[in-house]
Structure 1
């Protein structure tokens, strides 16, 4: 059968096809050749194939998959028609092949034609977007390369990319095509299929120089050729842009390169770019260098910041696991988790600043900063407020602030900040729509250029708001200076607020003076140091004492218990006078593990706490018996009629 296929291919120049019922078609004469043919070609059908094959198009994977599926489907259909004659099989499979080819065209945009070949039964089919051509005993000249492309892939198992060729269809405009063809065998039946697409003409591609009568004329040393689509076979469909390390002196900011029309006017006039100074790789039209960022330093800072974020997540897991311990429970574990969440968001601002400045970065960074600030330091201020309320003087009864109430207050603060950030983002987007730029070019003190987010008045208002919140937190710390808190919690909370106020205040002042002249790497380092001096210090001040007190208290009490009550003190007959619990005599501290000792101590702490509370409430006229120690809002008393008291006295005085 392969001999039949080769014979059919050799008869391609004869003429005659069938489109539905297609009659013979006339071969186009040289004088009727398309006007857009390559220069120097009298008849575009005489030498329509390029000598080299360009690189596959962006749709290469999709074309390969579509052609393989089509060839596989036709092989299966051919295997099911083995008992019939070749002519009957061709007549039965032609509609199916046309339907499958049409489905491929409909599912993929940009396909010019789909070809199917079954040489065993003398069947070849080309499905264009608007008509179908079925190969029978002869062929027209403009279809020659389609059949050659299908025949070329017959002996290849992995398919071939067809060299670009010019379609010489006299009934349509000329078009250069290239495609992919593959032949597959299924159930001992072989079929070939091909996908053909229009060739993207690019004068900058040296492989297509033949189509344009020669290569482009950009200076290869200082410029690079950039193709412009939609130019067809016309020359000068490109522009020459300066390479990295070169610039065009005096060019406006909107300059995109030397147009191809100007370059093609005078072949002897070479349009070149000027080399940038030696210390930089990129520069602008004035010859000023761009900033070179240090990837190693920035990467090391980013890795350290990521490690801090990971430690924060681990701390959150530890707090949740130890939430019933006294040191954690006394500090409200929900508020502690909230502080860690805010710290994590504050750490994220340094991660966002690692990337190149853009509009998205300028809009996203304030969200992480302000949300993290209000969640972290808002929770700290609410804890100070609770200490102030619970330990107020000049009050005979005790006020109780529930954990749920504090979370409600914090939620209100977060909602307020969300509304503020939404207004900031909406106004910024409106400015962008009105051609207002959020990113501008800055210049360092050494003359290097870099991109940075443009400072806005919103930033100054936000910084002032942060400082006011911190000042209010310091005021609460001072107001509750006489309050007694467990594990010195108030002192560490006040220290965290003061550290944030001092570091952020100094940072904002220095940034206002040096933000426009400082190197981006130094600015990134400043943000990193500010994050470590605030967020990391907050974690150390709040959580380290709690974990230390917990570890120290359990260890010291366990040692004291072991020293005061040796093992011999629990012998039978001697411990009866010490306790009424019969199980104590059987205790042996040498056989108990630390977990058992910790459990016993925890039970002892609980009993002592209950005993202390009962002792304080017993016969205490200042503490109400109601839950929480709240006094009744008012007292009920009865009003007596005027003169009733005198009547009672008279009755009592009567004998």
Structure 2
């Protein structure tokens, strides 16, 4: 049992010794003045020399010196007759006569030092990797005496920086403290403290920390480049949509949505996308003035057009009204121009007031610190911005109110629903964004704030594009596919054979002709005739049980009579109602509305024949 324990202890000691870092002897390349010594080396060496003159016993002299000065590691004597080395090993004096392989390092360093302090060296045999100073003194009668003193390993000591592979990393306005180690010369065993009157640098501050603890922020170039590429791609997609809307402006899906208003929405989205690109530049007076301009003008053009479309839906589909207001596309453009000019005047006042403040030494740039202590510059948040944000939210809330008021309107292609969703998303995202901007953004890294602006732009503007334009192109493509499938077979006109033949004064049986054998002009004429009959039937059905609807052509009133005058002419209408009813019905049947729509209050609608049908030379 005892034998097993002994073997186990030997094995463990061997393993532990193998895991220790190997020790190699070293000698510094230059002489280093000692520091933190509690004795006068020159005085002690002279005492040893005096004792040698009295007794010629170096062992006794070394024992006396080492017993009084515990911080001396050893003494050495070289004369023409003898060479003696005395080392203080664990408070015990050990003498080495003449040179041995173990003491060769001590003799080599001693011989290399002529007089005074020599280069420090590292001993691995007796002192376990400790560094030692050497002091040599050339006495009389050819004797040379030396002392060895341990080196206090302090990385803050610039004289022994070679031991650690270089000086410490503290700056000029900092002091290095607590860097003492004894045997293991490991780097980083120190602390940098600020000098009196100096502020500390943040912990995460990179190497560019400047005076007084100021740490300028470092921006991520890759992130800014990625955001720039995404924004430019989105702007290019907007331009592509603008071209598609212009090309398909005569199709039903685009014409019903007022292609001019759709183009203005795209212009507004394009301007809103550019606000994120402006934020990529460093804060300056020009950037602080341009960003609100692009934001507000783009907001008015984009969401002002959406609100005007909702207003038109509400006016066209309102109920319990005797007469109907007519809102044309040109009227909407006039209203939008008024909104644009109002926003232009508002921003001009903002710019004039801000420039006045700048002339009075008021700065638009402020310096802020992140939560980690990094310094950055940003545009100052003004009270004017609060007013602008409240105005934006009010306009969006009004648009949502219009959408709610016209919620029962049966618009084509569910346009009202998508417009309402667009306004609601912008209202919710902007409300949360402005709250975060007031309470959170001033403590965040500018790159994080830039990401927030980027996400807001993508959530709002990209959703606007998808909700407004994707359904229109999808319905248009779906309608084109449906018509193409119907044209690939025979026309189902057997039920209308007699009426079709009589109406066209043709001797050809249409039910016996395929689409491949018919002329495109004949197809178009037949479909127009069918649409005309359906519109006449719809107008007659609507007017049958709704006597309050105007019998005039298209349901339109004169420009000076867009309001009800029934109270002034009630007696005259009661007297002539029976006599004129038959005549009005005949007129309605003979001249149907040129602009039919699905409104429950009128027979008016878009005055155009949509080019939904593919021509012979037009691809589906």
Corresponding position: 1:530 with 2:456: yes
- Please say if residues 283 and 289 of structure 1, whose CA atoms lie closer than 8 Å, have aligned partners that are also in contact: yes
Change (3 A) 1:639 1:318: closer
Q: Distance in 2 between matches of 1:506 and 1:589?
A: 57
- The residue number in structure 2 matching 1:359 is 285
Q: Distance in 2 between matches of 1:517 and 1:399?
A: 52
Deviation at residue 490 of structure 1 after TM alignment: 0.3
Q: Deviations over 1:562-598 (max 9, x none)?
A: 356499x9xxxxx989986549579544689xxx98x
Q: Deviations over 1:412-448 (max 9, x none)?
A: 1111111110111111111111111101111111111
Q: SS where residue 376 of structure 2 aligns? A: strand
- The residue number in structure 2 matching 1:488 is 414
- The residue number in structure 1 matching 2:254 is 328
Deviation at residue 278 of structure 1 after TM alignment: 8.6
Change (3 A) 1:488 1:297: same
Q: Distance in 2 between matches of 1:411 and 1:497?
A: 20
- The residue number in structure 2 matching 1:612 is 534
Q: Distance in 1 between matches of 2:205 and 2:296?
A: 39
Change (3 A) 1:409 1:359: same
User: Which of 469, 473, 482 is matched with 2:399 structurally?
Assistant: 473
- The residue number in structure 1 matching 2:327 is 401
The Cα RMSD (Å) is: 3.6
Q: Distance in 2 between matches of 1:583 and 1:554?
A: 27
Q: SS where residue 371 of structure 2 aligns? A: coil
Q: Distance in 2 between matches of 1:634 and 1:276?
A: 78
Q: SS where residue 394 of structure 1 aligns? A: coil
- The residue number in structure 1 matching 2:227 is 301
- Please say if residues 275 and 291 of structure 2, whose CA atoms lie closer than 8 Å, have aligned partners that are also in contact: yes
Q: Distance in 2 between matches of 1:288 and 1:420?
A: 39
Q: Distance in 1 between matches of 2:570 and 2:464?
A: 57
Q: Distance in 1 between matches of 2:229 and 2:523?
A: 42
Q: Distance in 1 between matches of 2:360 and 2:342?
A: 28
* TM-score, normalised by the number of residues in structure 1: 0.51
Corresponding position: 1:454 with 2:376: no
- Please say if residues 249 and 287 of structure 1, whose CA atoms lie closer than 8 Å, have aligned partners that are also in contact: no
Question: Considering only CA atoms, is the larger Rg found in Structure 1 or Structure 2?
Answer: 2
Q: Distance in 2 between matches of 1:576 and 1:613?
A: 20
Deviation at residue 402 of structure 1 after TM alignment: 0.9
Q: Distance in 1 between matches of 2:570 and 2:363?
A: 75
Where do 5+ consecutive residues of structure 2 fail to align?
1-168, 175-199, 495-499, 573-620
Q: SS where residue 451 of structure 1 aligns? A: strand
Change (3 A) 1:365 1:275: closer
- Please say if residues 492 and 511 of structure 2, whose CA atoms lie closer than 8 Å, have aligned partners that are also in contact: no
Where do 5+ consecutive residues of structure 1 fail to align?
1-244, 251-273, 570-574, 641-655
Change (3 A) 1:459 1:275: closer
Q: Distance in 2 between matches of 1:397 and 1:316?
A: 36
- Please say if residues 247 and 287 of structure 1, whose CA atoms lie closer than 8 Å, have aligned partners that are also in contact: no
Q: SS where residue 463 of structure 1 aligns? A: helix
Deviation at residue 624 of structure 1 after TM alignment: 3.0
Deviation at residue 295 of structure 1 after TM alignment: 1.0
Deviation at residue 408 of structure 1 after TM alignment: 0.9
Q: Distance in 2 between matches of 1:515 and 1:410?
A: 33
- Please say if residues 367 and 421 of structure 1, whose CA atoms lie closer than 8 Å, have aligned partners that are also in contact: yes
Deviation at residue 297 of structure 1 after TM alignment: 1.1
Q: Distance in 1 between matches of 2:569 and 2:429?
A: 59
- The residue number in structure 2 matching 1:337 is 263
- Please say if residues 491 and 511 of structure 2, whose CA atoms lie closer than 8 Å, have aligned partners that are also in contact: no
Q: Deviations over 1:316-342 (max 9, x none)?
A: 111111111000000111110111011
Deviation at residue 282 of structure 1 after TM alignment: 3.4
Corresponding position: 1:425 with 2:347: no
Q: Deviations over 1:278-318 (max 9, x none)?
A: 94253443222111111111111111100100110111111
Q: Distance in 2 between matches of 1:601 and 1:530?
A: 49
Q: Deviations over 1:13-38 (max 9, x none)?
A: xxxxxxxxxxxxxxxxxxxxxxxxxx
Change (3 A) 1:634 1:283: same
Q: Distance in 2 between matches of 1:291 and 1:526?
A: 18
- The alignment of Structure 1 onto Structure 2 pairs a total of residues equal to 365
Q: Deviations over 1:598-646 (max 9, x none)?
A: x987766644443333223346544434344135664887999xxxxxx
Q: Distance in 1 between matches of 2:552 and 2:512?
A: 42
- Please say if residues 301 and 528 of structure 1, whose CA atoms lie closer than 8 Å, have aligned partners that are also in contact: yes
